[in-house]
Structure 1
């Protein structure tokens, strides 16, 4: 019951936001100052502007669907699916920001990253797969392994990645970029 109420509240908020988008769009066609203000906003807040534009794309696909074979129910189902993915992405970005805010200091981050072993792949591993899972490519860049690739094998989950691909993520998150398994427990201060 609570999930239904929450979903209904989210849907009403989205519909309200969609109506606001339509009003702003109609005004923007008439008012040059509003267009200039929006252009300034896009330059100064590119992340927020990109997020807003993605929402507008999802809203447009729902309201102005050009496929006549799709009924309202089908369009609404597609809209809800895309909106769910969009909101999930926003929540993940918010979680990433919170993780950055509460992360270890730089020296501890560097030490934690150094504890994850690096190695070069042999020709046999490049052909048959790296690590206990016999992974045949890096899940981040999707490139197949080559002899001599510099990789990190995460002991907690056995996933293997190119060092250059995973280091930025590991620096910020201290968990596997693929399965989110924590690399190590953080000591209490």
Structure 2
């Protein structure tokens, strides 16, 4: 019990420090064009990492700049901790997925199968009315609603559409659709 409390306190201190760093970088970023150019280059080369950082910034912003003025600090902090827990759980799961991929025997075959599944960006219209011929409004893996410019993969055999990051993690381990279990290759 005491070890869990110490671990939670350490995580909280790291999160607060990261949040303060986010605030400093945000204030500098408004004034320094080179910092914005550096971030744009980073985002272009490491979209997965940039997306992770942006999600943390969103969680931090909801805590610091809560739009609901009726929520007290304790309520905002409880929501923050809940969202942060989900965020960290997702990061840990992604790390486990990467480790599983690293130790797979046939990584070349998996990559070849994955490269045959087309990847594209959703238009604003398609995000609003539903993706693909089935007009699905959410990703079947993470259950998030579509947003314009989401990277998606559409499986050709069954026409199901998923976020590319969700589909990639699934399809590396399973060569079947996560919804209907249709094989990727006929």
Rg bigger for which structure? Answer: 1
Structure 1, unpaired ranges of 5+: 110-138, 143-161, 179-189
Normalising by structure 2, what TM-score? Answer: 0.60
Distance in 2, matches of 1:48 and 1:169, equals 15
Aligned-pair distance for 1:108?
9.4
**Partner of residue 17, structure 1:** 18
The aligned residue for residue 173 of structure 2 is 173
Gaps of 5+ in 2: 111-139, 144-156, 161-166, 179-186
Distance 1:72 1:107, change over 3 A: closer
Q: Structure 1 length normalisation: TM-score?
A: 0.59
| RMSD of Structure 2 on Structure 1 (CA) | 3.1
**Kept in 2: contact 1:58–1:82 (CA 8 A):** yes
SS at match of 2:84: helix
Tell me how far 1:169 sits from its aligned partner.
Answer: 6.3
- Please give the residue correspondences for 1:144-155 in structure 2 after superposition, counting only pairs within 5 Å: none
Count of residue correspondences? 129
Show CA shifts across 1:118-174 (max 9, x none): xxxxxxxxxxxxxxxxxxxxx7599xxxxxxxxxxxxxxxxxxx9887x97676336
**Against the structure 1 CA distance between its residues 69 and 90, is the aligned structure 2 distance closer, same or farther, given a 3 Å change threshold?**
same
